[in-house]
Each structure stands twice: as C-alpha cells, then as structure tokens.
Amino acid sequence: MSTLTDLTQRMASGEVEIVDLTHTLDPDFPVIILPPEFGQCARFRMEEVSAYDHRGPAWKWHNISMSEHTGTHFDAPVHWISGRDVPNGAVDEIPAEKLVGPVVVIDCSEGSAQDDDFELTPEIIEAWEAEHGRIPEDAWVLMRTDWSKRRGADYLNMREDGPHSPGPTPDAMRLLAEERNIRGFGTETVGTDAGQGAHYTPPYPAHFILHGAGKLGLQCLANLDQLPATGAILIAPPLKIRNGTGSPLRVLALVEK
C-alpha cells in the first residue's frame, strides 16, 4: 500500500487524528499592544456585504480586515530587522515544503502556572532531550504553556510595567536556531517572545535570533496539550501575501493515536 493511501485509511479509522491548534478569529481576540509611541496591530474586523438580501439576493459574504499579526498567526523572517535580508523571507516566498513538517512540544505548563514570566532555558531543552531524544533538524518546536486557556485581560496579562507572559531566553533561542537548526518556534502567547522580552539582550530574542537565522514563528496557538512530545506533523501554511511579514492561518497537526 502506498504511504498516502495508508495515511488516508488511518485518518478515516481515527488512528491518525487531526488536532486544530487555532483560535477562532473574531473581533474580541486580543492583539499585542505596543508602547503608545509605536504603530499598533489591528484587531480582526468583519462587515457584511450582503446576506441573501437586496444587496445580493442569493448569497452572503463579508469584507474582512486585520493585521498580518492578528489571531493565531505566522511570522516570516522579514517580520524582524534581523531577517530583513534573509533570502525568500516573506510569506509568499517561503518554500511550500517548509509549511508541512515534523513538530515537537516542550511542556512548560507547570512552570508557567506558577510563574507568569516563566523562561524556557537551555537547561529545560536539554532535560527534554534527555527524555525524548535530540530535537530533529528542521522541526517545529512548540512551547506549551496552557496560556491559550486564558480569557480576556488575563491573556495579555498587562501590568504597569507591560505584559507578563512566558517565553524563551536568548540562550534557549540560540540553542534551537543555531545548534539544533530548527524550522521554527511557536507559542500559545501573543508573541513568540516573553511578555517582558524587551528586557533581554538582544531585546525580543525569539524574534531577533529566529528570524535572523531565517527561521519561522507561530503564536496564539491553542490545544498544545493535545499533542505528543514528538511524532506529530504540523500543517501551517500562511496566506500568500506578496512581501507579507506574517499572516493569520489555520494550524493543524496530524497525531497518531
């Protein structure tokens, strides 16, 4: 039997399950808030064009608008200044074979429940590898924090000194991007960086180091608690926006039961 016939049969029988890692795109979903001197990310908006009425008697449709970085979304290398000259660094230029591939999940949910500023460190990555094996080259690495279960103001978790949410340290990102040569890094929070990521050197190390190395980002992911540590396949194709820096998208995982 061919590999794909085998796969479709296992999907039909439920031996291979599809897990949706995507939040619903609606106007209430929080977007990142930058200090007021900077341009801001737009929330999702939807206006009705017609709804089986005089504006279009047999059809219903909407016009929509949003930022490239609204909702569950993809970050391309050109999103960051460190990646501005990376070849094929815009969403429309990323090779299609980078949009489907292996994924591993590092579970940081316990630590993140206790500490809003929980850090993913090289020590945690190495402990994960001692249990699950070395992170494969060209794999997506997702940081599970269960942050996607938060609602309302708790999601951005804004305080007087800015947002507080978990994320990776600069050394963790160097290990993943430079030594493990991963494909990309994804989180459940509003960005790939910690809420307080501006205070690291370099600031926003996930963005700076990942994109500088031509790697990809995913954020606002959900349901990471339904993924195994290893062995799943991630399907994450952004919209093909010319010179786009990112895109909302539907993120799916194939998981063997």
Interface with Mn ion, residue 23, by CB under 5 A = no
Give the total of residues touching Mn ion (CB under 5 A): 3
Write out the two tokens for 176: 């993943």
User: 106: Cβ–Cβ under 8 A, 6 or more apart, which residues?
Assistant: 120, 124, 125, 128, 141, 142, 143, 144, 229
Pick the catalytic residue from 23, 79, 207, 211: 79
The Cα–Cα gap between 96 and 139 comes to: 15
Phi, psi of 227 (to 5 degrees): -105, 145
Nearer to Mn ion, 66 or 227 (CB): 66
Candidate segments 70-78, 136-144, 156-164, 173-181, binder of Mn ion by CB under 5 A:
70-78
Number of Cα atoms under 13 Å in the Cβ half of residue 27? 5
Q: Which residue of 23, 75, 125, 186 would you call a contact of Mn ion, by CB under 5 A?
A: 75
Q: How far is the CB of 189 from Mn ion (least distance, A)?
A: 11
The reply to whether 211 belongs to the active site is no
Q: How far is the CB of 207 from Mn ion (least distance, A)?
A: 8
Binding mask 228-247 for Mn ion (x = CB under 5 A): ------------------x-
The SS3 call for residue 143 is strand
Candidate segments 43-51, 68-76, 150-158, 159-167, binder of Mn ion by CB under 5 A:
68-76
Q: Phi-psi category of 247—alpha, beta or left, where left has phi over 0 and alpha has psi -120 to 50?
A: beta
**Residues 109 and 154: beta-carbon distance below 8 Å:** no
User: 157: Cβ–Cβ under 8 A, 6 or more apart, which residues?
Assistant: 116, 150, 163, 164, 165, 195
Q: Which residue of 22, 23, 31, 69 would you call a contact of Mn ion, by CB under 5 A?
A: 69
Q: Using CB positions, name the residue nearest to Mn ion.
A: 69
Interface with Mn ion, residue 183, by CB under 5 A = no
Catalytic residues: 79
- Residues forming the site for Mn ion (CB under 5 A): 69, 75, 246
